[in-house]
A and B are shown apart, each in its own frame.
Chain A
């Protein structure tokens, strides 16, 4: 049955449009049909054939259904660009909607609903009214969907003309497909309306459950999805519903199965009988497993959903862990999800099996997958011994360092911990710095836990190595601190080195229960795949209108602006900006891989070891007002103390803007702050000024900062580790991000010529490029203003293909210039950023900054 339509794509380039015009007006039917096909072919490859509008519409009145469909297709595509001409088609539409052929009646109404031109919409009402009551179910099922289309264009019209009532009538239609489409349309209308439109009563429920049996597979999905919103009155009703939905689990269509699972899970919340629940869990497992033999893309969706399901009902798949073992040829996205689920399902009973399996993955080809597998192994103490056997095969410094940390941390549970560490000590001088640091710490921990002769000798070797024979200041400083600690007061050393660590959260942690509830109610949808509530990624027109107001951006000199350079453009009112910040974070395209957990605790050692005069007491009060800041220490972590903070630049001075909120039951006082070494040597320039905080009180302060005080070695990093203490609570540690743009200086403006010269003088190896697929520049002026306000100066602009290319310059202290080229298509997602600078190692930081600025 293969066709030969490709011939329509080859046309003579010269005078194509006039030629087509002529053919469209040919007296011969076949010629006209061929011409329309050529027009559609041209439209398909993206040529603009809108100028042929009148000629194509003239072909609309035809008996030939195929030709009619092609003309309709053309109309759907071009009516919007030619609204005045589109009206020419209305007569034919209205006439077609009364054609004796039900296919044509349906086609007319279906197409009219797709043409979003007001004048056409007006004429749609009468035909739609008729079609909703048509004798033919095919026409009615099409009309039902058309009501949803019309509601999307003009909700008022739908309500005024009583379409909602007609639609509700169709729920009782005798044709299952009409019922299903009516349910889909009503559910959609309900979603965009705040008024109750489609309320599911127990009567509707029962009727729809009966209809399920006769529906097409898709109809079953529409109905199940709509019914999953239904709240059963009691456990008995819930059990009843579940019983009628369970047979759907055997359907070959994965969407039917997932929607049935969604509905069953919802109702299970009400069911109290443990037997019934157990039985249901038993019934749901096999269909879920079967989804894993579908196409990999469907497997991925299923796995993301199973991940949610096992968090709520771990028993469902507790015995099925083997089905999640990775196949060698599974796509990487399937492997990653399977691994996640295995981690969740691991228990005492299957742990040996799981760990053996993970070990197998540690030799896989894909690096990310291997990392995840190894990290997963690290979670289980019982594996440590097995793991240690494979120590010598580790050659990636990061993996090695993590392993060594594990040995130190669990030294008391690893019989041969000393032997293991000793084997590393021989090569100590050759190891990379991160491994050396971990070896040092691990040996100290070992010594504190097992203060016997062996470890004592080891520690001397290590300390000697780390203090005398190394050039690495980090290592040397840390070694000295340990040395001094150990020699003055071993007990104190124990308190410090073996202190209880804050629980490190990682990506595989269980979701928050209320979020989980919401996600489970959204099984099979995008929300369940992203593991985010729908609001986090669904952008609606409403948000777009708000955005325009933010274009009048406050001037850079006003304090209001520079306080929150990255968030001021958020549409939210000032006092909820912290939640807006959270939302932007959540909606970032893909969660970044978590940093390895191991080295965090050592911040403690470093902080305490530093000279104490940097810790500044608090004395003067500050007024709690001004724009809000991202939360860096949530109240849940800070035992009721919440800290929000952000670096800001103001008149060439850098401040750390902080907000303290006391949600504890006691008054907190004596606040002090300390910054760990960082790439820019940021440190407090004066005392932290926070008054004693009564319960429920909050205080805001601007802490002046200095740079190049307290520099850390290694490649530049945006990590700013901060410690805050008060007299009532333990010391709080949190991480903040240094945004490079706060350092941009006012003398960063370059003349065109010097820009060009500098650009040319820098070797190509100094050029770094990064793409930001998710960023949209909607207005060039607003963006330029915003960038200028942060001392990123516009130099020139040119067009390249259909994209705009902008050039900027900026400078950070110590005279490091950045030459920037931004390429984007205004209004479309995707910004390409190329920079040239004498210090290309700063590029990642710069990109972080530019991303924040552009996202603002």
Chain B
């Protein structure tokens, strides 16, 4: 049964109900007490997001300082329920202007009630596209399309748009300047053994789009992925010229992308929603360019002293640089004193996370700064157990901007993915300006030591 929820609760960290909505009659109004008593007030919190208490099941997620709890008593579709929560939060954020927390909920409770009534009916998720809902659900109800007040801008076909085949874009949009912004955001996930061999490595990427386009444009995106290129040259019956090609392990698309067409022709074609959205996600495991190598040597000298040496090598182009590089090197809990030297950036000991935190604001390519530290430990009799070394964790960001119609800029993507073209076709035939930005950042970038 695709029912996702019988009731939904928004609780603060104390367990007070901020807002709730009962969609079905099969769970009692006080089931949230059970959640509070048996999950929130026990050590169970955080041990499992799906729990059964009495005859009911609870699915919960924490978003900032709010618990969102879904209660069901049937064999509900859990995947649907969690995805609904994720999308509902995105919707609320888009309505509140970014923030979703206890205050935002209290300040918008009327609006949330209204949205909760609209986006789910009898436990079945309905249309959650912010773009469309904003047509007829607004803060003060002033844009209500059928209201008799003359000040209201009527949107006569709101209901058709909610239920329409292009349920994510409204008609009649006009922009003076037609622009598209493409962000290719890649997170590099790495797990490296202490001996320097790569245990697991992949890139999860997403293409974020911001569209300011008039009318109902058809878009087509071309990437340098192998299968897409092969298909393209097959259709054109001549080879497509391209540089390096890459193999995508998997792609998932926003609901605006025609999946059947992607499946047959391998082209990404779509009518985009207005404004910002996530067009696609992809994953790559083969041929990943690791931007950084980390070479740690940690020596425990007796029971009270440790020597830490970490060398970080940047292996991308010398003309480029990474920003906001942070390297967290774990040290034992009983660290008493640290002293270090770094050849670049600044380091300090952060006792609350038991790490040496080494920050380099601007990290050029083809360099290898080092940190050497001495750590003194308090000798305790109880801590005879050897220290379980957590991995070194790293954060960074490498950004390349591509202004319109330029291609010869040195750029870095961990996957090697490039946007070959973005075609915009609209019946009025306007010109579009396209901006592309490549961002590579650390996902879970871990080096065991």
- Taking Cβ atoms with an 8 Å cutoff, the residues of A that contact B are 1-6, 8-9, 37, 40-41, 44-46, 63-67, 69-70, 72-73, 76-77, 100-104, 106, 110, 113-114, 116, 136-139, 141-142, 145-146, 148-149, 152, 175-178, 181, 184, 187-188, 191, 213-214, 216-218, 221-222, 225-226, 246-248, 250-255, 257-259, 286-287, 289-290, 293, 295-298, 300-302, 322-323, 325, 327-329, 331-333, 357, 360, 363-365, 393, 395, 522, 524-530, 534, 537-539, 587, 589-590, 771, 773-774, 776, 825, 828-830
Contact = CB atoms under 8 A, between A and B. Distances in A.
- Chain B interface residue number, banded: 35 or more
A251 B252 contact: yes
Contacts of B17: 44-46
Contacts of B122: 113-114, 145-146, 148-149
10 A-B pairs with the lowest CB-CB distances in the bound complex, closest first:
A829-B54, A66-B141, A286-B250, A138-B159, A773-B38, A101-B146, A539-B55, A534-B75, A247-B263, A363-B388
A301 B79 contact: yes
Given A138-B160, A254-B83, A295-B61, A40 B109 contact: yes
B385 A395 contact: yes
A65 B144 contact: yes
Given A1-B97, A181-B121, A300-B48, 20 more contacts: A1-B139, A40-B109, A44-B18, A44-B20, A104-B146, A184-B124, A218-B127, A221-B80, A259-B79, A302-B79, A328-B390, A357-B199, A524-B77, A524-B78, A524-B79, A526-B57, A526-B74, A590-B48, A773-B54, A828-B54
B255 interface: yes
Contact of B74 (A69, A357, A538, A830): A538
Given A69-B113, A142-B121, A322-B199, A225 B77 contact: yes
Contacts of B83: 253-255, 298
A139 B159 CA distance: 8
A364 B388 contact: yes
Given A214-B165, A525-B1, A136 B47 contact: no
Contacts of B124: 145, 181, 184, 218, 222
A1 B146 CA distance: 22
B107 A6 contact: yes
Nearest to A325: B200
B283 interface: yes
A213 B260 contact: yes
A276 to B, nearest CB: 16
Contact of B2 (A1, A136, A187): A187
Given A141-B163, A534-B75, A830-B34, A2 B110 contact: no
Nearest to B165: A214
A137 B160 contact: yes
Contacts of B48: 300, 333, 590
B109 A5 contact: yes
A286 B249 contact: yes
A146 B99 CA distance: 34
Contacts of B15: none
B33 A539 contact: no
B111 interface: yes
Contacts, number: 326
B78 A247 contact: no
A3 B107 contact: yes
A526 B78 contact: yes
Contacts of A142: 121
B113 A298 contact: no
A2 B108 contact: yes
A546 B129 CA distance: 45
B407 interface: no
B255 A253 contact: yes
Interface string B152-163: 000000111011
A589 B50 CA distance: 11
B141 A297 contact: no
A187 B260 CA distance: 26
8 contacts: A138-B162, A175-B163, A218-B84, A255-B2, A290-B283, A774-B52, A828-B54, A830-B38
Contacts of A222: 2, 124
B298 interface: no
B259 A247 contact: yes
A287 B83 CA distance: 16
A522 B259 contact: no
**Interface-centre pick from B3, B52, B54, B281 (highest chain A CB count, 10 A):** B52
B110 A325 contact: no
A457 to B, nearest CB: 31
Given A63-B148, A325-B199, A776 B386 contact: no
A323 B113 CA distance: 40
Interface in B166-182: 167
B96 A1 contact: yes
Contacts of A76: 22
Contacts of A138: 159-160, 162-163
Nearest to B76: A526
B49 interface: yes
A41 to B, nearest CB: 7
Contact of B110 (A70, A102, A175, A528): A70
B390 A828 contact: no
Contacts of B271: none
A741 to B, nearest CB: 23
Contacts of B84: 218
B260 to A, nearest CB: 5
Contact of A3 (B80, B82, B110): B110
Contacts of A218: 2, 80, 84, 124-128
Nearest to B448: A360
B109 A63 contact: no
Interface in B272-323: 278, 280-281, 283
B250 A331 contact: no
Given A2-B99, A255-B79, A526-B72, A250 B146 contact: no
B440 interface: no
A828 B33 contact: yes
B50 A66 contact: no
B53 A829 contact: yes
Given A63-B147, A293-B204, A110 B281 contact: no
B126 A2 contact: no
A828 B34 contact: yes
Contacts of A176: 163, 165
Contacts of B136: 103
B224 interface: no
Interface string B23-36: 11100001001100
B1 A188 contact: yes
B438 interface: no
A177 to B, nearest CB: 4
B251 A250 contact: yes
B444 A328 contact: yes
Contacts of A70: 110, 113
Contacts of A2: 96-97, 99, 104, 107-108
B117 A69 contact: yes
A5 B107 contact: yes
A252 B255 contact: yes
A103 B145 contact: yes
B14 interface: no
B253 A251 contact: yes
Given A6-B106, A65-B141, A289-B249, A103 B159 contact: yes
Nearest to B204: A293
Contacts of B215: none
Given A44-B20, A526-B72, A393 B386 contact: yes
A821 B395 CA distance: 53
B408 to A, nearest CB: 33
Nearest to A288: B250
A773 B34 contact: yes
A54 B219 CA distance: 55
A400 B388 CA distance: 18
A259 B83 CA distance: 13
A377 to B, nearest CB: 17
B426 interface: no
